């Protein structure tokens, strides 16, 4: 039972354009969401997070949007750069209910075309 | 600043052999985790340790054992390796008690079981 889903295994975007990565979840107890970025042969690194009390969080070129009613979040990267080419994982946890373990999605491989 | 250090980086085992994956963190984090990453499956939690002296099962614990040796070290043992355990293994740690869900990952161990 995949509680966090990333339905697009891969995405290609032209350099300078906007990249939009999507994530859906099924567990209504999730109240904290994170995005991780992973380069080949490296561990995932934290990118940006959002609490369920917000619907948007921005950090430089990266913005995460949360739609609680649709159980959907998205990561926007503007403008996209070649160094953004990586696998992106969405993750969720249910902090308010004492579950502090992260549940990860299957990942989306983003390729930025120069 | 080493962060989370995993050894070895690569390992090839024959079916039935045993081995221990080592993990150490120097950030004074209470919680430590072992994940495995498989194609199309994302990151799945094997075991975690919320504090020194405690361990708990994650999503996919079968075939594995763990030891939280001290606050810094958390090892993962395969007693009798199987081809289904071919994967990339990541150790991670997290600060607790602050509401900070951010996991810090090691660079991974690529394990092949023949």
What is chain B's Cα-based Rg?
Answer: 13
What is chain A's Cα-based Rg?
Answer: 14
> Tens of pLDDT along B14-62?
999 999 999 999 999 999 999 999 988 889 999 999 888 899 999 999 9
d(CA B97, CA B77): 28
**CA-based end-to-end distance of chain B:** 36
- Tokens 């950030």 belong to B27
Question: With contact defined as beta carbons under 8 Å apart, do A61 and A79 qualify?
Answer: yes
Which phi and psi angles does B26 have, rounded to 5°?
-115, 25
d(CA A93, CA A104): 9
Contact at CB, B106 and A102, closer than 8 angstroms: no
> Tens of pLDDT along B9-20?
999 999 999 999
**Contact with chain A for residue B19, Cβ under 8 A:** no
**Regions in chain A scoring below 50 on pLDDT:** none
The pLDDT value recorded for residue B1 is 62
Contact at CB, A43 and B108, closer than 8 angstroms: yes
């Amino acid at each position: 039972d995949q509680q966090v889903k990333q339905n697009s295994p891969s995405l290609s975007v032209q350099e300078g354009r906007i990249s939009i990565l999507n994530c859906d979840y099924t567990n209504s107890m999730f109240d904290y969401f994170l995005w991780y970025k992973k380069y080949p042969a490296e561990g995932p690194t934290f990118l940006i997070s959002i609490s369920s009390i917000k619907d948007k969080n921005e950090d430089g070129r990266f913005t995460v949007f949360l739609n609680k009613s649709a159980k959907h979040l998205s990561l926007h990267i503007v403008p996209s750069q070649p160094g953004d080419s990586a696998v992106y994982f969405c993750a969720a946890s249910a902090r308010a209910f004492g579950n502090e373990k992260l549940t990860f999605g299957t990942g989306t491989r983003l390729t930025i075309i120069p | 600043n080493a962060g989370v250090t995993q050894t070895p980086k690569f390992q090839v085992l024959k079916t039935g052999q045993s081995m221990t994956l080592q993990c150490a963190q120097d950030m004074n984090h209470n919680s430590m985790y072992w994940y495995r990453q498989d194609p199309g499956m994302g990151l799945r939690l094997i075991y975690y340790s919320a504090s020194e002296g405690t361990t708990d099962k994650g999503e996919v614990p079968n075939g594995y054992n763990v030891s939280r040796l001290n606050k810094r070290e958390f090892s993962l043992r395969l007693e009798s390796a199987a081809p289904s355990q071919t994967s990339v293994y990541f150790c991670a740690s997290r600060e607790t008690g602050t509401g900070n869900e951010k996991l810090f990952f090691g660079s991974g161990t690529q394990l092949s079981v023949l």
